Amino acid sequence: MNEKSTPKPYLDWRTNEPGREEDAAHVFGYFLMKHCRAEAIEKGLKESSNPEEIRKHVEDAVDTALHNVADLLEGFFMTSAGPNHSAEFALEVVIRGEDDEVVESVRISPGLIDLPIGFWKWRDGEYR
C-alpha cells in the first residue's frame, strides 16, 4: 500500500490553512469512496442488454451510493483518522439572507433525525 492510498493520521495533519482543512477532507473522501462509491460500482456492474434493466441497475447503484453517504454522515461505518483517533463527519445547512449574512446554521447530521431513513422518502419525492 503506498503512502497516498490512505489519509494522514490525525496527529500528522498540517496546522496551516488550508492544509488542515484539506487533510480533514481527505479523511472524509477516503471513507466516501470506500463505503459509497465502491459499493455502488459493484452493484452497477450487473450485465444486461435490456435498457430498462440497465436503468434499474444504475438507479440501484446510485441509490446505494447516496444512502451510504447518509450512513457515513450518521456514523454507521467505523471511520478513523489514524491508529488512535476516530473520525465523525457532519452536515450543516446554512441559511443566508439577501446580504449574504448567516441567518441560521443547523447541523443535521449526525443528529436527532435519521438521514438514511429520510433518504428513501426524498428518493420517492417526499420532502415534508
pLDDT at 2: 58
Choose from 47-61, 85-99, 114-128 the range with maximum mean pLDDT.
Answer: 85-99
Q: Where are the domains of the chain?
A: 3-123
DSSP string, 77-123: S--BSSTT-B----EEEEEE-TTS-EEEEEEEESSSS-HHHHHHHHH
pLDDT at 12: 95
Residue 116 predicted with pLDDT over 60: yes
Residue 38 predicted with pLDDT over 90: no
pTM of whole model > 0.75? yes
Lowest average pLDDT, out of 2-11, 20-29, 41-50, 68-77, goes to 41-50
pLDDT at 1: 45
Residue 114 predicted with pLDDT over 90: no
20-49 average pLDDT score: 86
Cα 88–chain centre separation: 11
